[in-house]
Amino acid sequence: QSALTQPPSASGSPGQSVTISCTGTSNDVGGYNYVSWYQHHPGKAPKLLIYEVSKRPSGVPDRFSGSKSGNTASLTVSGLPAEDEADYFCSSYAGSNLWVFGGGTKLTVL
Amino acid sequence: QVTLRESGPALVKPTQTLTLTCTFSGFSLSSSGMSVSWIRQPPGKALEWLARIDWDDDKYYSTSLKTRLTISKDTSKNQVVLTMTNMDPVDTATYYCARWWVTTAAFDIWGQGTMVTVSS
């Protein structure tokens, strides 16, 4: 299974919205509604933000939202606060009990 | 509170076998729907899913690494162990364990990771 494609970097000013894409194939992102997104501050444990494309776990602010169109999933972060500066990565089920991850996107709050 | 913590050697030599332990608390791996996976991230590269063990002891492995990996659990100790044989410098990475839960079909809780360097 090949890694999902994410832009290496993204940026936005405080209060703005930023969208990060995650592109796969019909064998993973496009074939299943099991896309999840994670926030990772270096040195800390990654945190689940979105599961099943667009669902938020309890405690995750509603400024994080997810969607999917075809083979591309997206994470939108609205009303950027400074503490959202982190790495973000996606994951998708790839069939046959296999999982694939994206390369990660470094989000900078300007 | 659910927590996971990875432990193991920071340095291994090429051809050696790596043994990593994931010690967890706050949930039982004998509960239906619970699983623990190992995931790694080489420096500057994408995360790579390695293996998963389920509550019923079913095991799944990365297609490209399955000949080198073995995952096991000790429910009484709340531990999951991953062994990787024939280590190579390209296996240098941060290794994470994460809980997978059927309710979210996602890796909902992660450890902080442990860095493993393969070098002679």
For the segment B27-42, the average pLDDT, to the nearest whole number, is 95
pLDDT above 80 (res B105) = yes
User: B67 Cβ partners below 8 Å, 6+ apart?
Assistant: none
B47 CB neighbours in chain A (<8 A) are 3, 89, 91, 101-102, 104
pLDDT above 70 (res A99) = yes
Residue B104 Cα, gap to closest chain A Cα (Å): 6
pLDDT above 70 (res A56) = yes
A24 CB neighbours in chain B (<8 A) are none
Q: What percent of chain B has pLDDT over 90?
A: 95
Q: Which of B4, B37, B47 to mutate to test the interface with A (most CBs of A within 10 A)?
A: B47
In this complex, the residue of B37, B98, B105 whose CB is nearest that of residue A52 is B105
User: Taking a C-beta distance cutoff of 8 angstroms, is the pair B38, B91 a contact?
Assistant: no
Please state, in angstroms and rounded to a whole number, the distance separating the CA atoms of residues B66 and B61: 5
pLDDT above 70 (res B114) = yes
Residue B52 Cα, gap to closest chain A Cα (Å): 9
For the segment B23-41, the average pLDDT, to the nearest whole number, is 95
In this complex, the residue of B47, B63, B111 whose CB is nearest that of residue A89 is B47
User: Taking a C-beta distance cutoff of 8 angstroms, is the pair A107, A13 a contact?
Assistant: no
pLDDT above 80 (res A1) = no
B52 CB neighbours in chain A (<8 A) are 97, 99
Q: Are strands A64-69 and A72-77 parallel, antiparallel or unpaired?
A: antiparallel
* Contact A38/B at CB under 8 A: yes
Nearest CA to A66 among A99, A94, A92, A98?
A: A92
Q: Specify the pLDDT at position A2.
A: 75
User: B76 Cβ partners below 8 Å, 6+ apart?
Assistant: none
3-state secondary structure string, A22-82?
EECCCCCCCCCCCEEEEEECCCCCCEEEEECCCECCCCCCCCEEEEEECCEEEEEECCCCH
Q: Specify the pLDDT at position B51.
A: 97
pLDDT tens per residue, range B40-83: 999 989 999 999 999 999 999 999 999 999 999 999 999 999 99
Q: Verify whether the Cβ–Cβ distance B112 to A36 is below 8 Å.
A: no
In this complex, the residue of B39, B46, B49 whose CB is nearest that of residue A104 is B46
